[in-house]
Amino acid sequence: MPHYQQPLDATRLPAWQSLVEHRRAMQGFSMREAFAGDAGRFKDFSLSGCGLFLDYSKNLINHETRELLVRLAREADLQAAIEALFKGEPVNASEGRPALHTALRRPVADRLVVNGVDVMPEVHQVLGQMTELVGRIHDGLWRGYSEKPITDVVNIGIGGSFLGPQLVSEALLPFAQRGVRCHYLANIDGSEFHELSARLRAETTLFIVSSKSFGTLETLKNAQAARSWYLAQGGSEAELHKHFIAVSSNKEAAVAFGIHEENIFPMWDWVGGRYSLWSAIGLPIALAIGMSNFKELLSGAYSMDQHFLTAPFERNMPVLLALLGVWYSNFWNAQSHAILPYDHYLRNITQHLQQLDMESNGKSVRQDGTPVGCATGPVIWGGVGCNGQHAYHQLLHQGTQLIPADFIVPVVSYNPVADHHHWLYANCLSQSQALMLGKSRAEAEAELRAKSLPEDEVQRLAPHKVIPGNRPSNTLVLERVSPRRLGALVAMYEHKVFVQSVIWGINAFDQWGVELGKELGKGVYQRLSGHEEQAAEDASTQGLIDFFRGRHRG
Ligand code: F6P
């Protein structure tokens, strides 16, 4: 039976049991000593591919750990699961769908038959449709109601219809083309709408209503607000089609909104929102950086797909990162994972990976509905270095929790200012070094004595100066943030998440948990607006409703 129908219970696999024992044996493992005792450690625990370099030598692992983790992946039949993903089998079992984001970056000559239909011609047809639109906008041929060319594009979407496109279009700003500015409107918060619309002119603005379902509250409300604003600014219903286009798999709803059928870019059921930046959901990316750069992004992701499919697990970046995550979540009780990009352009990657990882692997039953017998997805958090160093890194260094971290850094900056990039890179390396080395009691005391402090003062201060060290991290180095390398980087994390879902036996491609809040939101809204007088299910929610109503009556 395939993994998505009858997942294995990884905790019962022989390799899992061996890892339990191995974890005990690793209790006193010291990374400092491991480096001191093995000159080849960096070389043995690092690899490059797809324009990325991964150093995973600063982890609580030795050769045996890697062997056991790889054995776990083999016993979990990971290779068959990877092939099932790429072939378009219904790996999203609760929705009976494949998850074919990899099809979106395959070359035109490929064939991929799913349910009797080759999906590749459609994929490339949509890329063609995108190329035409991007060309017309960049060449000033797409005109607004006053015949002026488009200068600003507003992507109205949330979740996967926002985070991926925002990450990539802003990360690739050095590749920006022809002065089309991209903006994002996600939250159902009038302030966000107000601040953005105040900077725009309706006659030169194009709105992309980006929603796979065309049923997401925040997106629909923002689209309605944008439409009212456009009309109030002088636009007409008759020329609405010049200012509103859509990306959606729900064509009927988009047409009902007033969008012309030829301006609706299709999406498919087999692309999950958080995996959709490679589809027409990536239109703002293509508008920002041009279609040839967008295709470079796809080919970078494709190269990572090939690496993932073919590299042996011991040399497979997504597989290794996933197995390290399993090692820490399930054997070291780590509950979160920090993503620390040392690059301004990559500043949004943490939020994108938050959705990618937490919406995918925040599950507690397996594909067959049975409870998971171990911890699943960690909390993903973090932010751009060096800012985090002056905020939350303290907890990474001296807090009581073990928090593995991924440092991500380019070697070359697009904007060299004096020696800033040398310092930025140095900070990135010194943080992972400090996490690993720490400072022993003896070192702390020696430092204090060197300042000629009296011995009682040395003893009083030393415990505060001790830094435990031995805290794990990966460092991912890119030569520079280019479309191709960014494509590979994002695809690498997509596959990491998938590998973990296979080990844990869960479905990475559904998200039923987010539905309850949406459902309850309707009832709360009815009560807030006085359309429902029956009290809420609980006193806390009712009390907070009363608070709001009291203010709005006054
Ligand atoms: O509510 C969660 C979610 O369904 C995400 O999975 C998705 O990325 C987001 O909402 C937006 O959905 P849509 O593109 O259908 O508007």
pLDDT digits (tens, 9 = 90+) for 207-217: 999 999 999 99
pLDDT of amino acid 179: 74
Q: List the helix and strand counts (H, then E) for the chain.
A: 22, 13
| ipTM score assigned to the predicted complex | 0.98
Distance 493 CA to ligand 1 centre (A): 19
**Which of 267, 353, 511 is the pocket-test mutation for ligand 1 (most atoms within 8 Å of CB)?**
511
Pocket test for ligand 1, best of 213, 274, 512 (most atoms within 8 A of CB): 213
Distance CA(216)–CA(226), nearest Å, equals 15
- Residue nearest atom 1 of ligand 1, based on CA coordinates: 514
Cβ < 6 A, ligand 1 pocket: 158-161, 211-213, 216, 219, 273-274, 359, 511, 514
Give the residue numbers marked as catalytic: 359, 390, 518
What whole-number percentage of the chain has pLDDT above 90? 97
Q: Are 34 and 437 in contact (CB under 8 A)?
A: no
Ligand 1, atom 10, lies closest to the CA of 159
- Summarised one tens digit per residue, pLDDT across range 325-358 is 999 999 999 999 999 999 999 999 999 999 999 9
Q: How confident is the model at residue 177 (pLDDT cuts 50, 70, 90)?
A: confident
The percentage of the chain sitting over the pLDDT mark of 70, rounded to a whole number, equals 100
**By mean pLDDT, which of 129-138, 351-360, 544-553 is the weakest?**
544-553
Between CA 311 and CA 221 the distance in angstroms is 46
Secondary structure letter of residue 90 according to DSSP: -
Minimum CA distance residue for ligand 1 atom 13: 211
CA of 202 to the centre of ligand 1 (A): 27
CA angle in degrees (0–180, nearest 5) for 527-530-533: 65
Rounded to 5 degrees, what angle do the CA atoms 218, 224, 225 make? Answer: 85
In a domain, 502, yes or no: no
Give the domain-ending residue among 248, 267, 294: 294
Ligand 1 centroid, distance to 192 Cα (angstroms): 19
**Index of the ligand 1 atom closest to the CA of residue 267:** 14
Task: Give a yes or no: residue 26 inside a domain.
Answer: no
> Rounded distance, CA 499 to CA 254, Å?
35
Residues 293 and 174: their CA atoms lie apart, in Å, by 11
Q: How far, in Å, is the centroid of ligand 1 from the Cα of 339?
A: 23
The last residue of a domain, from among 275, 294, 313: 294
Dihedral in degrees, nearest 10, Cα atoms 78, 82, 87, 93: 70
pLDDT at 66 over 90: yes
Residue where a domain terminates, one of 259, 294, 329: 294
CATH number assigned to the domain comprising residue 134: 3.40.50.10490
Domain residues for the domain of 536 are 512-553
pLDDT in tens, 132-157: 999 999 999 999 999 999 999 999 99
Whose alpha carbon is nearest atom 6 of ligand 1? 273
Q: Which atom of ligand 1 is nearest to the CA of 281?
A: 14
300-328: pLDDT as tens digits: 999 999 999 999 999 999 999 999 999 99
| 168 CA from centroid of ligand 1 (Å) | 18
**Under 8 Å between Cβ of 243 and 260:** no
Cα 223 off chain centre by:
25
Q: What is the pLDDT of residue 553?
A: 74
Say whether pLDDT at 476 is over 80. Answer: yes
- How many domains does one find in the chain? 2
Q: Is position 149 within any domain?
A: yes
The H-or-E segment that residue 114 falls in is strand 113-114
337 Cα to the center of ligand 1, angstroms:
23
64 is written with which tokens?
A: 């045996």
Q: What's the confidence (pLDDT) of residue 1? A: 86
Kindly state whether residue 523 falls inside one of the protein's structural domains.
yes
Please report the pLDDT score of residue 170 as a whole number: 97
- Per-residue confidence (pLDDT) for residue 37, from 0 to 100: 98
Residue 161 in contact with residue 212, Cβ under 8 Å?
yes
Q: Which atom of ligand 1 lies closest to the CA of 218?
A: 16
Q: How far is the CA of 472 from the centre of ligand 1 (A)?
A: 33
Q: What is the mean pLDDT of the chain?
A: 97
Residue-wise pLDDT for 230-256, tens only, equals: 999 999 999 999 999 999 999 999 999
By alpha-carbon position, which residue is closest to atom 16 of ligand 1?
Answer: 211
**CA torsion 516→525→188→256, rounded to 10°?**
90
Closest atom of ligand 1 relative to the 160 alpha carbon: 8
Average pLDDT of the residues in 486-492: 98
How far apart are the CA of 159 and the centre of ligand 1, in A? 5
Domain presence at residue 188: yes
In a domain, 75, yes or no: no
**What is the number of other CB atoms lying within 10 angstroms of the CB of residue 231?**
13
Domain-embedded: residue 254: yes
Task: Let me know if residue 180 belongs to a domain.
Answer: yes
Total-model pTM: 0.97
Give yes or no for residue 554 having a pLDDT over 60.
Answer: no
Respond yes or no on whether the N-terminal peptide bond of residue 374 is cis (omega within 30° of 0).
Answer: no
Q: List pLDDT tens digits, range 260-282.
A: 999 999 999 999 999 999 999 99
| Ligand 1 atom at minimal distance to the Cα of residue 213 | 15
- Under 8 Å between Cβ of 544 and 528: no
Distance 367 CA to ligand 1 centre (A): 21
- Report the separation in Å between the CA atom of 510 and the middle of ligand 1, taken as the mean of its atom positions: 11
- The model's pLDDT over 399-425, given as tens digits with 9 standing for 90+, comes to 999 999 999 999 999 999 999 999 999
| Pairing verdict, β 244-248 and 264-266 | parallel
Pairing, β 152-156 against β 181-185:
parallel
Of 320, 270, 229, nearest to 44 by C-alpha is 320
Tell me if 478 sits within 8 A of 348, measured CB to CB.
no
